[in-house]
Amino acid sequence: MLPAGAEAATDPPRPGSVEFVARDAKNVLDAYGRITGPGGQLSNPAYLPALVRTSSLVTVAQLLTQVANPTRVVATAGQLVPGWNAGNPLRSSWNGKRGVMTPVAFTNRYGALLRGTMFTPRPGAKDPYTGATLRGPFPGVVITPGSVQGSAPMYHWAAQDLAERGYVTFVFDVQGQGTSETLPHTTGSALPFCNLLAS
């Protein structure tokens, strides 16, 4: 028996049915609303030119970094697919204007080189809500991308917004994603599982 005014829950559509496919298609469309929906990125005439420019700059910078570090192989979607690590190109001028971005690199316990970015409030910045000058010490937040082959720049918008509000935020690529190294270095070899020079 249901309380007055409550409606009975309907059974979910059967997988493979027309209703199931329609519901799934709507869910996918809703998931991309920020990109394709009203007021979304693709309806902004500045978005695609900015994406092409930012993607090109990021791709060239990544390739130059890989050439400079040949023993730190980055074989990830973020490295191999142009534009994957572009993030939101409409925020490409954020650094220095709205906050400060500092690149960070460190090795994990397996010897793989991980890369990320520290986002901090701009000196003298004002809280966007109260107008008060932001003063440290600032609380810290670490954002770890958790999706399959999600890269750190996909989360830069969140780190930037937090930095503008008085947080020090660190976003990094886990091993094998984005711009972080793919293989560990437990043996000291550049290619620990495929040493072509071994006898």
Q: Where are the domains of the chain?
A: 45-172
Average pLDDT (105-118) is 94
State both tokens at 8.
């009975």
Residue 4 DSSP SS3: coil
Position 179 confidence tier, pLDDT thresholds 50, 70, 90: very high
Q: Given pLDDT bands bounded at 50, 70 and 90, which one contains residue 64? A: very high
Which SS3 state, helix, strand or coil, does residue 17 take? coil
Separation of alpha carbons 176 and 132, rounded Å: 41
Predicted local distance difference test score (pLDDT) of residue 114: 94
80: left (phi over 0), alpha (psi -120 to 50) or beta: alpha
Closest CA to 23 of 15, 7, 40, 36: 15
Token representation of residue 4:
């007055």
Write down the pLDDT at residue 36.
80
- For range 109-138, the mean pLDDT: 94
Q: Which of 113, 71, 65, 99 is nearest to 85 (CA)?
A: 65
The percent of residues in the chain predicted with pLDDT above 90, rounded, is 61
Give yes or no for a contact between 112 and 187, defined as CB atoms under 8 angstroms apart.
no
Name the residue among 144, 140, 163 with its Cα closest to residue 152: 144
| Per-residue confidence (pLDDT) for residue 50, from 0 to 100 | 94
Q: What pTM was computed for the model? A: 0.77
* pLDDT for position 45: 93
- Containing 159, the helix (H) or strand (E) segment is helix 156-164
Give Cβ neighbours of residue 101 (< 8 Å, ≥ 6 apart): 94, 95, 117, 118, 119
Task: Give the mean pLDDT of 136-143.
Answer: 96
